[in-house]
Amino acid sequence: MSLAADPESNPLLEALPTTRAAAPCAVVLFGVTGDLAHRKLMPALFEHARAGRLPADFAIVGFARREWTDHDFRADYEPVLAKRGGRDFAEVWARFAPRLVFAPGKFDDIESYHNLRKTLDRLDQTHGTAGNRVFYLAVSPEYFAPIITRLGEAGLIYPRRQETPFSRVVIEKPFGHDLATAHALNRDVSQVLDENQVYRIDHYLGKETVQNILALRFGNSIFEPIWNRRHVRSVQLVVAEEVGMPGGRGGYYDTSGALRDMVQNHMMQLLSLVAMEPPADLSADAVRNEKVKVLESLPRWSAGDVYRNVVRAQYTNGSMQGEEVVGYHQEKGVASDSTTETYVAIRLELNNWRWAGVPFLLRTGKRLPKRATEIAIQFDKPPTALFEPEDGSLGGANELVLRIQPDEGASLRFEAKVPGSRRRLQAVRMDFRYGAAFATPSPEAYERLLLDVMLGDPTLFTRTDEVESAWRFVSQIHEAWAQPGAPLPDLYPAGSYGPASADRLIEDVGRWRRL
């Protein structure tokens, strides 16, 4: 099964650029001494250097509180990047290291930003960065607004709508804690930056398998005509995690929960890509306009609607791969009386023409049996039953499954006759795997997204109205849970697929998929 189409017959695919070259620029990493920079950002930039995708005139500026020199900065990252291996490491590092420059400073100190500006002006002369700036905020959310404000006060953000030279700011998730805080943060950001200068990052959108949702839908004529309420019975989206609270993460997670941590961002993005209308082309605004329409069609619920359509739960002690693990309340940093959900299941219907009446079933949780992200589209059964279904058969209901991670690919389940004299059917599967189909491995999500920022392509980044539309839906659920008399979280043992109470959300259309 192919996820591509002939560009000559598809105007959407014709819009894809064939070659892209980034302009000279300096990337400033705020929080460069932190975990995200060490695990994802700097390795992604190093891989771009290895592959020759960085411009010749380029610099990486680390901004953090430590009183480091350039030498200290380079010495800290050399062993980190050396772990990526490769016989060419020494050669690539020799080219990469001189591009690393450290600028000590404090996030709330305006003088630090004036010094940063001097450093960047110097790099324009010594490294040829041409005045182009990318500021990456790999910091805690409470620093987003103060840093952007200081960048503006120090003259590090160019006038609105200025394209050359450019200044762009990348903001990590979570973007707000609820609708009110997201709106306030958007207001603060808009006082300094124009929308075209803001890149709100969700690393899920950088995954090749997520981007291929559009290719599968709009690049293959066998799917688009049946991608609607007339042929689709239900859609399931699942993001399952095996882990509990590693590294003492319980204290942070207890203020967030599954709804904020997964549903508001990752799952809303997957939902919008699966359900969106065909865009006029693949330009950033065309794609994001259609995604916003999906998010704006999410239901408006009363508290009673939330209690009927949403199930929340917490894991208790159980067994994971033969090892006993503690329950959520026993995790370090978690309050003994916490009602924070580690699992949430949602049934919703979109209020639009294409999907009216089709249930979308979302499910995510910690301490589930397997780590997996999948989207399953179950199609309607044929109008008449001419054959005898085998046990375990879908009874004529075809199913398309998109595997986002791991084991990236797609599979189509359909019915085939079992050999013999009887007219019996059995579900069989056609399978496509990225690893087997393509000679080159998919790039890491952050590699793709960082390159897109440097190229000025915001397609895979969320816009103001996207963020607020997703928060509007999620916040109404939180508000219902906060009301007096709201049902407390159900319980499920670690290593299970979640609480039995979630089965009521899907009983009229089938059952939850086993991963």
Q: CA-to-CA distance for 43 and 45, rounded, in angstroms?
A: 5
Instruction: Name the token pair of 45.
Output: 């930039």
Out of 48, 127, 203, 266, pick the active-site residue.
266
Residues 6+ apart with CB under 8 A from 91: none
Q: CA-to-CA distance for 333 and 338, rounded, in angstroms?
A: 11
Residue 239 near residue 370, CB atoms below 8 Å: no
Q: CA-to-CA distance for 367 and 445, rounded, in angstroms?
A: 24
Q: Is 478 in the active site?
A: no
Q: Sign of the CA dihedral 60, 64, 68, 69? A: positive
Residue with tokens 């930056």: 193
**Coil, helix or strand at residue 128:** coil
**Coil, helix or strand at residue 259:** helix
Q: CA-to-CA distance for 53 and 253, rounded, in angstroms?
A: 36
Residue 383: cis peptide before it, omega within 30 degrees of 0: no
Q: How many residues does the chain have?
A: 515
**What is the separation, in whole angstroms, between the first and last Cα of the chain?**
21
Q: CA-to-CA distance for 194 and 191, rounded, in angstroms?
A: 8
Residue 155 near residue 117, CB atoms below 8 Å: yes
Residue 114 near residue 75, CB atoms below 8 Å: no
Residues 6+ apart with CB under 8 A from 181: none
CA distance to 1, 229, 381, per residue, from 414 (Å): 13, 19, 11
Task: Give the residue numbers marked as catalytic.
Answer: 266
